[in-house]
Structure 1
Amino acid sequence: MSSDYFANLCIFHIMDGLRDGLSHFSKASRVALIYAVNPDDPIRIYDPQDLLREHDPKIKEYYLDSDDWRAGDNHDDTTRLIEVIRTKDLALAGLITCSARSSSIFYQCWFTEQHPDMCSIGPTESWMEYAALLLSQDFATQNILRIDSSGHLLREYSTHAVRDYIVDQRNRIMGWDTQLRIYPILDSVLGISKTREEGAWARGDLIFIEPSELDKIKYMAKFPEKERPYLKNHKHVRKLLQSVESSGRKLVSDGKVVVGIAVVSPTSNSISAHFKGDRGLIYLGCTPVCSFADAKFSSTNYKPNMVQLEEYLLEIDLSAEVRHNLFQLVVQMITSANNRSHGSTLVLDFNDTPVEIAGQALEKPLDLREPEMRGLARSLTKLDGAVHICKDLKLYGFACLLDGKAVAGENRARGARFNSALRFTSEHPNLIVVVVSSDKPVSIIQRGVELTALCEWKQLFACVTTPPTLTKWIDV
């Protein structure tokens, strides 16, 4: 097997594992690599899904118009396995990057998408650093027997990525002197999150404090040292969480046991788990790190992605105040539906004369600029049918039935709300329908098309040919 062929397979397996792992941790994600094996080699690019195509000018300026990226490294230093480089000059909008140098690969830079609903890019950066390490190891060992094992490791790296990021950040804050062990904490959070108590999911806050700082806390209730519930006893901790539901109280833990109950603010190095029913968030200090649901971690913050609606509102003739109020109203209604775990449909009508929709009409529209009317509107979203809101910030009807002729984009797996919205908007162009499913996804639909639909990227196959040089790729 030639060295080029082996190198190409190494790159493919690592990229495929990284892409697949990140796509499960976040939304569907693309990955690209720019690299040079030796200092005098031409810079090459492997971008099978055109992640970097829109960034041609910046990439050309950084890699081809200048040799600054080559500086600052001694390639003959075999004592260092890998060095991660933080390059501010290569900040590409909407992308997360990770550059590295090693004794086996002179330079490599990984790229992936920065999704707008990410809690933090930190775990993804840790994931990419590990991909760079594995690629350097594979290039160094040239072991055909482990050529695909790196890809398998990267596919299942989510918990490790979260742990690595938390450990790195805490080490920066307080050094290596710590007694909190992150893996048991993460395992306990997942175990508690999937444990029901009398049919109900966990709600409340569990905070992990460095043992040396526990005596500084003013406890409302503290358990005797020999009777403290062990964190690994998920059922017991789940029961205790009932004492802090819907309050400012928190269960306090040292990472091994539950010490007591207190009203305590997060510190810069504390770790918190906020349980919100069937899902939750993990924080480092006051900063969200990741979320958890279905016994696994993910990057989503569970906030609806309303970019398409925001862009549409900027295009139509509305005052800045009305545009802002309408957007905030929609966000509030969606958040309320998500928190209550029920589906809903919002018809946003931008016609001068409201569209006639079959449903429960009102003698006088509700003025949604009044707080009590907004509360009523949020409750009306629980009824079957759509809520009809116009650009004058008034609600004209609820329990509305959306009908229309069949359209090409219908998806039987998405249910009646989604498909009815597709049909209705295809016949009424000057409006948008927002569909909130009971299992949290939010769809924005206009003219019979889902604006929030995710692209299906083409399947990747083994990289058996050497990736093109960056010069050739730019000229294509």
Structure 2
Amino acid sequence: MTMMHTSQWRRSIYNILDGLSDGLSHFAGASRVALIICLERNEPFYILDPQNLLDGHQPRLKDLFKSFQDTVSHNLRSEFDPANDPQLTGLIAYGGSCTTLPFQMWFTEEHPDICSKGPTLRWLEYAATQLCADFSQDAGLRNDTSSYVLQGYAQHAIRDYIIDKRSEALGMDTYLRIYPTLNAILGISNTREEGAWPRGKIAFVEPRLLQHVQFLASFPRMEQPLLVNLRHCRKTLQAVENTDRYLISDGCTLAGIAAGELPPGTIVATFEGNHGLVTLDDELICSFASGNFLATNRRPNLVQLEEALFESTVTPEQRHSLFQYTTRVVIRARERKHGCTLVLDLNTIPRNIAGQTLQTPLDLSLPENIDIACSLAKVDGALHISKTSTLLGFACLLDGRAVPGENRARGARFNSALRFTALHKNIIAIVVSSDRPVSVIQHGVELTAQCSWKPISYNCTPPLLSDWINE
């Protein structure tokens, strides 16, 4: 047993796993983390997967095992040498090798609603460099520090990714300071004006490229609002509220109002009330809300609905239409911040559901009918939609017998959908809560329910990768 196998080093690794999982969970939603590692050149590979993230990927990892071994057998460099992405479905991975640590590969989940993988990759990259640093000196002095830093790395990961992308577009010689820009975005997003949340866009342009901006109105240099004066910037933002115009900033001040095409490397913050989005050259980087940056694109996660429709007997055309129109209603309900329930009736002859029926069903392929459906969704009760994408009724009452999966913390709308789908076949219910979560329910089971993962244990001995992939 080498020094690397002592409980001290094992605890260092698990501390980083724990901090990384916790930080990513706050940034992107509940996230598991796994690590494949080789501690010394002539030592075997170990897998640390305390929450079973890599289950099901054994065949692919078995194919990659030889390439991992080849990495260790080559001459190792003192600086970190990134490895090729193993490209496991549904996972984001980053790893590499150096003389301090011959091989490490980190994995985490790629959530369906993620804006960009870039910040998460920078996060994994930092975890890898932290582990190398721990192994190059007395880990006892760094154990907890690494975990704490990784827990709160969101803004740093976004900043690192933006700098990388802007360097590719503009070269290394850039002057727009990213940390103050990100701080200003969060500060303005939390500043109300006469009780109203901010709306509008601010474009942060590389200073030397301001001459290429199509200004509609510019401010004298000595009178430009300072970006650190959040109240002044918030007031000025009203000038572009509900328009296609931008406030233009060089990262220090607001230079004026513009429209049209923006120079490369421009960061745009779109304020949409109590939340917003950050883009870089039309690439969505992240969102923000409640003073935090988040990975979500704020679109409803309806992957389970898509899968349920795929497994049903409806035709591909019907499946596409149902998913498209259902998504529109769900998005509108979330934007308006009201709850609603949609019942997708996949039976050839739709069921009779108590509620307000329509003399002539509304064809949801017509835009005006989608608008009506979105408005009717605000009425208490459920929308009844056929498999041919017609709205049959609204304010429908869902009843049924009690089922084991009921959760009183979720309210009557959720539990009624559980009971109704348990009682009736070929029914899918989508429940939108007023606080934004979306639940897809079928056969009395919530398809979107998340499993409770066991906490990371510091005492478990990691298995050999060779044994794990052959189980």
| Band of TM-score, shorter chain | over 0.9
> Which residue of structure 1 aligns with residue 143 of structure 2?
147
Aligned to 2:215: 219
Counterpart of 1:468 in structure 2 is 463
Q: Which amino acid aligns with 1:87?
A: N
Shift, 1:303, TM fit: 1.1
Q: Given the alignment of the two structures, is residue 263 of structure 1 paired with residue 259 of structure 2, yes or no?
A: yes
Q: Secondary structure at the match of 1:475?
A: coil
Aligned with 2:299: secondary structure?
coil
Q: Does 1:178 align with 2:180?
A: no
Q: Where does the alignment leave 5 or more consecutive residues of structure 1 unmatched?
A: none
1:31 aligned residue: 33
| Candidates 87, 105, 110, aligned match of 2:106 | 110
What is the 5 A alignment of 1:81-160? 82-83=80-81, 85-88=82-85, 90-160=86-156
Distance in 2, matches of 1:65 and 1:3, equals: 23
Deviation at 1:343, TM superposition (A): 1.5
Q: Report the Cα distance in structure 2 between the residues aligned to 1:172 and 1:66, rounded to whole angstroms.
A: 29
Instruction: Show CA shifts across 1:160-199 (max 9, x none).
Output: 1111111111122222211111111111111111112222
1:51 partnered with 2:53: yes
Query: Is 1:289 the counterpart of 2:285 in the alignment?
Result: yes
Q: Does 1:305 align with 2:301?
A: yes
3-state secondary structure, aligned to 1:354: coil
**Residue 323 of structure 2 aligns with which residue?**
327
- What residue in structure 2 maps to residue 7 of structure 1? 9
Residues 401 and 109 of structure 1: is their aligned pair in 2 closer, same or farther, counting only changes over 3 Å? same
- 2:395 is the counterpart of 1:399: yes
1:230 maps to which of 211, 226, 232: 226
Contact kept in structure 1, 2:224 and 2:255, CA below 8 Å: yes
Residues 12 and 463, structure 1, Cα contact 8 Å, conserved in 2 = no
CA contact (8 A) 1:9 1:464 kept: no
Counterpart position of 1:360: 356
Q: Distance in 2 between matches of 1:464 and 1:427?
A: 44
Cα deviation 1:302-357 (Å, max 9, x = unaligned): 11112222122223333332222221111111111122222211111112222222
**What is the correspondence of 1:355-394 to structure 2 with a 5 Å cutoff?**
355-394=351-390
Give, as a single letter, the amino acid of the residue that structure 1 aligns with 2:255.
V
Q: What corresponds to 1:408 in structure 2?
A: 404
Q: TM-score, with normalisation over the residues of structure 2?
A: 0.96
Q: Identify the residue that residue 240 of structure 2 maps to in structure 1.
A: 244
Q: 1:416 to 1:464 in 2, by over 3 A?
A: closer
Counterpart CA distance in 2 for 1:216 and 1:343 is 45
2:266 and 2:404 map into 1 onto residues whose CA distance is 51
Number of aligned residue pairs: 469
RMSD: 1.7
| Deviation string, structure 1 residues 263-293 (Cα, Å, up to 9, x no partner) | 1334431111111112111111100111111
Give me the whole-angstrom Cα distance separating, in 1, the residues matched to 2:73 and 2:116: 30
Classify 1:348/1:145 alpha carbon distance in 2 versus 1 (closer, same or farther; 3 Å): same
Distance 1:427 1:297 in 2: 42
Shift of 1:380: 0.9
Give distance in 2, aligned partners of 1:383 and 1:240.
38
Q: Is the 8 A contact 2:431 2:438 kept in 1?
A: yes
Give the Å deviation of 1:2.
5.5
Structure 1: distance between partners of 2:335 and 2:351: 30
Asked if 2 retains the 8 angstrom alpha-carbon contact of 1:118 and 1:299, the reply is: yes
Runs of 4+ residues deviating >4 angstroms: none
Residues 35-77 of structure 1, C-alpha deviations (whole Å, 9 max, x = no match)? 11222211111111121121111111211487433355425x4
Q: Residue deviations 1:131-152, cap 9 Å, x none?
A: 0111111111124132211101
Unaligned runs of 5+ in 2: none
Distance 1:464 1:141, change over 3 A: farther
Partner Cα separation in structure 1 for residue 90 and residue 68 of structure 2: 23
Q: Which residue of structure 1 aligns with residue 276 of structure 2?
A: 280
Partner of 2:415: 419
Q: TM-score, normalised by structure 1?
A: 0.95
Match of 1:458 in 2: 454
Does structure 2 retain, via aligned residues, the 8 Å contact 1:64–1:471? no
Whether the aligned pair in 2 keeps the contact of 1:206 and 1:251 (CA below 8 Å) is: yes
